[in-house]
Structure 1
């Protein structure tokens, strides 16, 4: 393992918009990955907070609410409850979702008021699209048009396809989402911005140091963005749904929804720590540079600009007050039966519905195995059943049966292990570490490593059961324990059952010289689910 032992960690999953529940595409992306990494750190004795916070101010709340014919506040509250239930059902190691309350809003306002007082924010007069019939300015999810970079369809703010931002009037052929027939003009607006270009030198140095940990597609986008003039970050916009901006230069404006995320996750980190009984003097304590936290973001490719560049500049603008993220782990889109998951077209499977039908560990394994880490991948319910049964459930249960025959668990008498056995067990753990560590983090490699070890260990158990004296029963147990411990961040229910039976699954301890016999927990069959 790298030399980060004992260093506190803050792991952040992209802030979900409360305009619906989390579907399987969301879960196969940042949420499962962030959970697995957080559990890996905890298994190594690292203090870690895994957190996120609902993004209530997003324009997609208002557009979805209009489409559904419900008040935006009602949609927000209902969706937050659904998301929290799904987080629990998936076993994500978060403390929950913090309330978007007065303390939240005070945290956000203080973050930007500090920048305002320090003279970091500047006035800019720009031309913004304006829908004439409803009489409203358009930005982000309130508008649709053509991306000026890749010339494909795009919402305002950032293009899902190429990842490039489009601020103010840069989106081509803009149309109103709420009133598509309305003529759209442009009008002058004076608002406050944070000039990103002023941070170019520091950004260049930051990415030169850390880009090796970034996935290729995301790193390419950052290079593209740094190769051209950097955009201003809107801090205030003319709008109604969001936190009112407190600055005298921008009466009637709100904080730009996307800039809330940075202080929002500081708030959610503080709230999560408080839920554990940890008290701090300030909300941003866990993000302070002197605390030296390892901060890691997990998000989709369409958020590379926001989490990878915009939020980074928001931290830098506070001088040396805050630690900067170690890296951003981004994922591509996860398709459903060959097409992008879509809430508006009802082309989706809700994570909660899948978890109601399929055991949680099996869902986690299959989503990890097919995670869209470097390119778009596809979810299929039929493939989940076939692949999970063939590659995980059946071989895992064969190993459990073979281990029970080779080393019955009922005796409880510790068995000796050999130096060679301890070396082999340590080797299993180290192979898994290659998939867990940030340098090449990969859910897919972890899932493949689990599947790849099962047949070999089953064969080894068969040899012990057959009387092969060249293999110590203790060494067999040690290797199975190493597999179980290494798979624990992914197969959480199986690991919990083993731990309740007394199996030590810590990854930061030396391989023991003796080990008590234990039973490998079995996985439930999917055949009953298929027949229902």
Structure 2
């Protein structure tokens, strides 16, 4: 049955370009999943955008002595270019505009009118020197849960949300001056009212989650959930547009819910959108969300609760696929300390397929993992390019010496059984309930080696039909490699002169023109 897959990844903060650590995470994984579902014949929308209203854009702009809005727009386009260079194809990559702001304001106003957003007075730290209230990127402190250094809103280390005012040893970002406390009236979402509903919703899908996320959610939902600030006293961001809160903006993590809705249905001309058609179609649409573990609270607790609170019968995510931090030479990527490799730079020296292969091989799915340039060269050579070179040698010999028929009449039972085993392994790797690019790349490596060995053994025994089987095996490789290595897949398809579009199972009726010699696939 044909399905609609709605796939999202968190909008990246446009305070800089994407480095290899970013590429290893949800953007790449979601692209692999989207490509797999597309060749399976399903309708796929992959949505994200740039998080223009993040306070991190402001603090970076202040450090660079530039305008935050100009900085955000500049890096929106750079991020888009970097994604393209890595063959990460996001259908709806939203640059927030007036239409986006209207959609967000309407979403928040709906919740306000329903009475699920309440006015409350709470304390904030305030910097007289900087002239602003301190929250999110504007404040530094330590996590009350794990004691790691943190900013406001969320602790990247343990994933627990925090109240910026209660951070131990709090200080203002960009200032060493004394901070003072001030009481401020704001709008808050009483998320605790949805804790039991969240438990019921999440319980059936725990088994599809990675262990770290399971543990975090069970911990978070075992005790009362703190009120979530819908508005912040600030001038940078989307105005609340509710009487009495003209001097406040909407929290970007609440903005993200309607923002992703809008991103999922935009077209290049920003025509009017029909969100309900996609987000209320429970019978056929599956919402699969990819995210870094550090964003887990927002996507797995806050966002579903906000959707529940709308009373609009919106679809909720069926799967959350997380990743941990990717390190560079065993230390965190750091732009400020120049400990970084930019995605656009590395694909100038290697193909994006080679980069995608290595970040799959070393992917931080369950634990932090490490990027090392020397390791990349060894891994790619030993497990990818050497096998492919061997396949090219065998193919060119077959091209010269054998008469290849398109009907593939001589596929042995043993060959078909082996091929079916690989199909099942890849399908498990790419399925939303067991998704793993590490399993995908390991299966791909195994398949490359198996196809080389199979052809060599059959050639030595001069077994009838081995040449047809080998070409059929290359057809399967076009499909198998496409989610992980799309450019390689297209080059192999071209080299085999395949006239048909790529589908998951390249059947015997695939249209193939006259074979040509292949010199290289990288």
> Shorter chain as normaliser: what TM range?
over 0.9
| SS of residue paired to 1:440 | coil
- Give CA deviations for 1:402-426 in whole Å, capped at 9, x if unaligned: 1332355995632314361333322
Maintained 8 Å contact 1:84/1:96: no
Distance in 2 of aligned mates of 1:185 and 1:502: 69
Equivalence for 1:529: none
2:432 pairs with one of 426, 429, 438: 438
| SS of residue paired to 1:387 | helix
Equivalence for 1:25: 21
Equivalence for 1:122: 118
Maintained 8 Å contact 1:143/1:156: yes
Shift of the alpha carbon at 1:96?
A: 5.8
Equivalence for 1:413: 405
Number of residue pairs the alignment of both structures matches: 517
Distance in 2 of aligned mates of 1:515 and 1:6: 24
Distance in 1 of aligned mates of 2:516 and 2:315: 44
Shift of the alpha carbon at 1:27?
A: 0.2
2:89 pairs with one of 71, 90, 93: 93
| SS of residue paired to 1:357 | coil
Q: Are residue 458 (structure 1) and residue 452 (structure 2) matched?
A: yes
Closer, same or farther: CA 206–19 of 1 in aligned 2, 3 Å:
same
Shift of the alpha carbon at 1:524?
A: 5.7
Structure 1 residue runs without a partner (length 5+): 526-532
TM-score, normalised to structure 1's length? 0.92
Equivalence for 1:422: 416
| SS of residue paired to 1:286 | helix
Equivalence for 2:65: 69
Equivalence for 1:254: 249
Shift of the alpha carbon at 1:472?
A: 3.6
Maintained 8 Å contact 2:153/2:163: yes
User: More displaced, 507-516 or 191-200?
Assistant: 507-516
Maintained 8 Å contact 1:65/1:75: yes
Shift of the alpha carbon at 1:479?
A: 2.7
Distance in 1 of aligned mates of 2:517 and 2:230: 54
Equivalence for 2:10: 14
Q: Are residue 155 (structure 1) and residue 151 (structure 2) matched?
A: yes
1:337 pairs with one of 329, 332, 343: 329
Shift of the alpha carbon at 1:282?
A: 2.4
Q: Are residue 487 (structure 1) and residue 475 (structure 2) matched?
A: no
Matches within 5 A, 1:137-216: 137-179=133-175, 181-216=176-211
- Give CA deviations for 1:309-360 in whole Å, capped at 9, x if unaligned: 1111111111243100111111000000110011222211110001111111
Equivalence for 2:42: 46
Equivalence for 1:347: 339
Structure 2 residue runs without a partner (length 5+): none
| SS of residue paired to 1:416 | coil
Distance in 1 of aligned mates of 2:220 and 2:401: 59
| SS of residue paired to 1:157 | coil
Maintained 8 Å contact 2:411/2:465: no
Shift of the alpha carbon at 1:300?
A: 0.7
2:215 pairs with one of 216, 220, 226: 220
Equivalence for 1:293: 285
Closer, same or farther: CA 524–506 of 1 in aligned 2, 3 Å:
closer
Maintained 8 Å contact 1:485/1:505: no
Closer, same or farther: CA 175–281 of 1 in aligned 2, 3 Å:
closer
Maintained 8 Å contact 2:92/2:263: no
